[in-house]
Each structure stands twice: as structure tokens, then as C-alpha cells.
Chain A
Amino acid sequence: MTVHALKEHAAEMAAPSRPSEVVALPAKPSSRFDAAALARRVASAVLPPAIVVLAILLVWEAACSSPGASLPPPTQVWSEAYDLIVHPFFNFGPQDVGLGWRILASLQRVAVGFGLAAVVGVAIGALIGQSVWAMRGLDPVFQILRTVPPLAWLPLALAAFRDSNPAALFVIFITAIWPVIINTAVGVRNIPQDYRNVAQILRLNPVEFFFKIMVPAAAPYIFTGLRIGIGLSWLAIVAAEMLTGGVGIGFFIWDAWNSSRLPDIIVALVYIGVVGFMLDRLVAAVGAFVTRGTSAS
């Protein structure tokens, strides 16, 4: 995910707002026609993925139904993990809670680690983007650190913090911060000279410049970085929790594996995927809201 890829991301983030506006406008004149059109639109959005999911389930069922299959078929997942699927928020004591609670515990860690990464990353990125030499010197370093897999940081983090929870937070932080820094710095570099001239003529001080010019002008870049960052955080939290233990979706999977509860793992995977998807969309939506107008200069 270099800068080029990031720009595509930015374009992709900006795009969804348009079609929805265009489609929404003609929806006034006649109400009967509307209902039909709406139904058709919902159907066209919901049906294809539903069919695909159904097909996958069928193939999976067929492939895993034989007695010697190593993975459970969907029907078995449903019957054996029924409690997990239907009651995400049960609570039977410290290590026996619903997946909803575990996801929340993981989300809480991500919120702290990613929140820190966002604040620190934007601040560092803004500083670096201001100076050509800092950019030249630090960019290669960041490009290398960026590629270090999250878990490779864990032993160091455990050694440094001597406790698993801060270590997990640190892994999230260190994983998510690089794309935020790099994108912010690029965004700040790309602030048009015109805006800088306006700021100079108004004699904005550095703090005013940061909040009134730099952040809004670099917002599309910053949000691209944040979006990549939140995805990486979610990747990292699951892996980190597998090793650090405690309540959390990652440890749940590890625990289920150790006690051979494959259906539970499959349910957890679906949870993780859905939550990761929602996190991504959430940041994208916030980004689209905050940067409205900025891209169209």
C-alpha cells in the first residue's frame, strides 16, 4: 500500500456518496412507482450476495458432510454453536461470556491503540510533512518499519511492558501508526502553495495553521491512512490476543482450537469479518463526511 494505492483508496472513498445522491433524487414524484423502484433497488443490492452466500453454504455442506471430513459442515456449526450464534451477550462468569462481549473487549483495545496511533500519527506526519529533509530522511525508515508484521513486535512489547494488555495495545498502536504518519505527511506536503499564502497573509500562527489549514487540506490523505490503519489494527488485535490471552475474540479462537471446538471458531471468524468490515466502513463514512467539499476544489 504505497502512496499510489492510497490515492485509489481515496477515490474509492469519495465515490460512494455520488451514486446514492443521484439515485435518491428522482424518488419523489409518484409513490407507487417509488415502492416498486425501491424494492428493485433493495433486491439488486441484497439478492446477489445472498445467492452467493447460499451457494457457498451448499458447496461447503456437500464437501464436509462425508463422515471423514476434517471440517464441520454448516448444519453442524449451527447446531453445535447455536448458543454462540443466538446469544452474543450471555455472561456465565469470567471466562465464559458471549462473542458480543469478546468483540467489545477487542474493540476497546483497538479503540485505545488505534486512537493513540491516530493522534500521534497525525501529529508526527504533520511535523514531517513540513520539512523536505525530515521527509527524505524518515520516509525510508517508515517504509521499512511499516512492513514489519504486527506479531513481530509482540516479543519486544512483552519485554518492554512486562504485561500482556499494554503489550497488545502497543502492537495495535505500532501497527496502525505507519500508514497514518506516511499518509498525513504526504497530504501535508501536497497542501497547495495557495493555501499557505493565504495563511501567511493572515499571519496564522502554527496552531491555527494546523487546525484551520493543514488538517482540513490533508484530510483526504489522513483518512486514507486512518482507514488502512484501522484495518491493520483489527488484523493485529486478533493475532495479539491469541498470544496474550484474556477476554477477547482472538483468545477465544485460540481457546476453541485448544479444545477442538471448530464450529465456535467458524462463528468467531464470521464475527471478526463482519466487525472488520463495519470498522472500515465507519472510518470511510466519517472520512467522507469530514472531507466533503475538500476534494472538489
Chain B
Amino acid sequence: MKPYLKLDHIDKSFTRGGTRTEVLKGITLGIDQGEFVSIIGHSGCGKSTLLNLIAGLTKVSAGAVLLEDKEVDSPGPERAVVFQNHSLLPWLTVYENVNLAVAKVFGSTRTRAERHDWIMRNLDLVQMAHASDKRPAEISGGMKQRVGIARALSMEPKILLLDEPFGALDALTRAHLQDAVMDIHARLGNTMIMITHDVDEAVLLSDRIVMMTNGPAARIGEVLDVPLDRPRKRVELASDRTYLRCREAVLKFLYERHRFVEAAE
């Protein structure tokens, strides 16, 4: 069977002032519908670049991104992104931020009342309905991140791309949002691709973990299956054999075989 999303021999290099830096080299990966895939790798290896390629925000230098066999070369709401820094528009309220997306995506297919319900439903999903009239400056970092997730979900994307969505959060909020994302994934069954630095997060959430080698010209070093049943409970998993084995495999990859070497940059 053909994969739902296919990364086909992707190269990516940036040219600036005559110098060419190769960031990604020969990335090939297939992702099935409904799958949760994490991308992990050291800082600067090109994870965000890869996600932006899938989102269509940057263009590939060679190869192609194929979604349902159609080439993706520009961004669109069917590949929604939860940005690392939430990227809410500060002059709009929480509600209006989500509405911007909903009005654009469903403006012609749903009535005003339906759109309102849909916005509130998505805010409810991340438990942010109570703050719908607040502006981003008035809510906490974790709340902003949740609104960012609600905005992305409200587009009913085929694929949800998450770029270190919990990177800037404290451990408690992080755990809470991880549960929220697992919950949403279970309920909606959409395809999710998430970048993370956090090994536990990767193992807890993913069906597969894509481990990237260090840049420049980063490749996919290894892909690890995480054969854990869902729903997953973090407390029970803490002593689970499979969980620990997966965790160890990722740690070994990151810290033994592909240690972060400053000189290689």
C-alpha cells in the first residue's frame, strides 16, 4: 500500500551570499494516515526545516513531498502547523484568532452560527473556551500554546504539524498538553507529525520516532517503532519494558552514536 504522506528523496540547501549550506540530504519517509510520528534530533540539524517543507512554507531543493500522491509545493490549511512560539496574532482575541482560520476555511460552507459553534468546540477541546475574549498578552504561555493547537485543529487539517509545541513550557503544563494531544489524536484520528527534543515525550506520544543525524546534510539516521497500546498512561508506562527499551534506543542514538558535536557545524 502506498503511504499517505510521502517524502521522496528530499534535499534541502540554503544559498546565501554565494555560499551553499546543505541542511537535509536524501530524506525518504512514508507516513500512514492517522499515524503519530515524532522527529527527534539535535539542535540545528534541520527538523524545523523538514517540517516547513511538509507545510510548504519552504520549497525543496530536490525531491518531492507527496500527499495522497499529489505534490505539495505551497502551504495550505489541510496541513496546519502549531508553531514553536504559538504565533497568535496579538491584536486579536483568542476567539478571533481561531475565527480567522475558521472564517477562511469554512467561510463559504458553513453558516455563521455553525462557525461559532465550531470555534467554541475547538476552544473547549483545549479547555480555553473560558478565555475566548482575552488577548494573547493576557494569557499564559501554556494557554497560548493551547489556543495555537485549537486554531490548527479548527482547520480540520489532514495533517497536523507540531514544531516543538511544548518546548517552552514547564513540566506540569507540558504533561497536561501531551495528554490533551493524545486525547485529540485518539478522538479525531488525524495524522500528526511532531518535532521534539524530549525523549520521553517522543516515546509517549508516537507510533514511530524518526531520529535525525547531525547536520550539515542531515539524514534520517534511524526510524524506531513504538509498539505500545493506546490509550497510554504515563504513570503505568514509567516501568513498562517496551517503553524503557524504546527510550533507551533513542537515548543511545542521540548520545552515543550521534553525539552533538559543535565542531561539525
Contact = CB atoms under 8 A, between A and B. Distances in A.
B76 A194 contact: no
Given A202-B101, A203-B77, A293-B137, A197 B89 contact: no
Contacts of B81: 197, 201
Nearest to B101: A202
Contacts of A294: 90-91
A34 to B, nearest CB: 28
Interface in A66-87: none
B77 A197 contact: no
B90 A203 contact: no
A190 to B, nearest CB: 14
A200 interface: yes
- Interface size of A as a range: 20 to 34
A24 interface: no
Interface string B37-78: 000000000000000000111000000000000000011110
Q: Is the interface of B mostly helix, strand, loop or mixed?
A: loop
A204 interface: yes
Given A194-B85, A201-B79, A203-B76, A293 B90 contact: yes
A198 B89 contact: yes
B135 A203 contact: no
Interface in A192-217: 194-195, 197-198, 200-204, 208, 212-213, 216-217
Nearest to B161: A201
B180 interface: no
B104 interface: yes
Contacts of B142: none
A296 interface: yes
A195 B83 CA distance: 11
A297 interface: yes
Nearest to B157: A201
Contacts of A219: 91
A217 B87 CA distance: 12
B100 interface: yes
B80 interface: yes
A202 B85 contact: no
- Interface size of B as a range: 20 to 34
A293 B87 contact: no
Contacts of B91: 216-217, 219, 291, 293-294
A294 B74 CA distance: 28
A296 B83 contact: no
B136 interface: yes
Contacts of A216: 89, 91-92
Nearest to A203: B76
A291 B105 CA distance: 27
A195 B77 contact: no
A291 B135 CA distance: 13
A296 B144 CA distance: 14
A213 B89 contact: yes
A200 B75 contact: yes
Contacts of A201: 55, 57, 75-77, 79-81, 155
B77 A297 contact: no
Contacts of A291: 91
B104 A202 contact: yes
A212 B91 CA distance: 10
Given A201-B75, A297-B90, A194 B83 contact: yes
Given A203-B76, A293-B137, A297-B137, A197 B57 contact: yes
Given A195-B87, A200-B57, A212 B137 contact: no
Contacts of B90: 293-297
Nearest to A215: B91
Interface string B103-121: 0110000000000000000
A195 B80 contact: no
Between B55, B85, B100, the greatest number of chain A beta carbons within 10 A of the residue's beta carbon is seen for B100
A195 B100 CA distance: 12
B135 A293 contact: yes
Contacts of B100: 202, 212
Contacts of A296: 90, 137
A71 to B, nearest CB: 51
A198 B87 contact: yes
A18 to B, nearest CB: 13
Interface in A202-242: 202-204, 208, 212-213, 216-217, 219
A97 B83 CA distance: 63
A198 B100 CA distance: 10
Interface in B200-234: none
B57 A194 contact: no
Contacts of B137: 293, 296-297
A194 B57 CA distance: 11
10 contacts: A194-B85, A197-B57, A198-B89, A201-B77, A202-B77, A202-B100, A202-B105, A208-B104, A293-B135, A297-B136
Interface of A: 194-195, 197-198, 200-204, 208, 212-213, 216-217, 219, 291, 293-297
**7 cross-chain pairs, A with B, having the tightest CB-CB distances, nearest first:** A194-B87, A296-B137, A297-B90, A200-B75, A216-B91, A294-B91, A202-B104
